[in-house]
Amino acid sequence: MKIKVDEKYFIETDKLNYILKEKCTAKKSGKEIYRTVGYYGSMTALAERYLEERQKAIMDDSTVNLDEYVKLVEESNQKAVSRLYDVLRLYPEKG
């Protein structure tokens, strides 16, 4: 099964794992590829990693103070959790 989380991330499942994958572009060829972020035994562990990946994505070369950074992370987490909930509530937990 393949579950699209957002435009960049999706989840695949097998008998034992939830697999978080990221759509990206190969540096040399410029082709679209899929990078495996990780294999997780639970949806909770996958969701935690997805949040970490989203937090990393908001960091760029700009300079912000700590309060601004915390606000950006909180907003990103809120959007990510909402998106995960909307997508994953349609699928039963493996077990």
pLDDT digit string (tens) for the chain, length 95 residues? 888 898 899 999 999 999 999 999 999 999 999 999 999 999 889 989 998 888 887 776 678 888 988 888 888 888 888 888 887 777 666 55
User: Quick one: DSSP state of residue 90?
Assistant: T
> What pLDDT is stored for residue 95 in this prediction?
53
Helices assigned H by DSSP within 1-65: 43-58
pTM here?
A: 0.74
Three-state DSSP at 47 gives: helix
> What pLDDT is stored for residue 32 in this prediction?
94
β-pairing verdict for 32-40 and 2-4: unpaired
d(CA 68, CA 61): 14
How many residues in total does the chain contain? 95
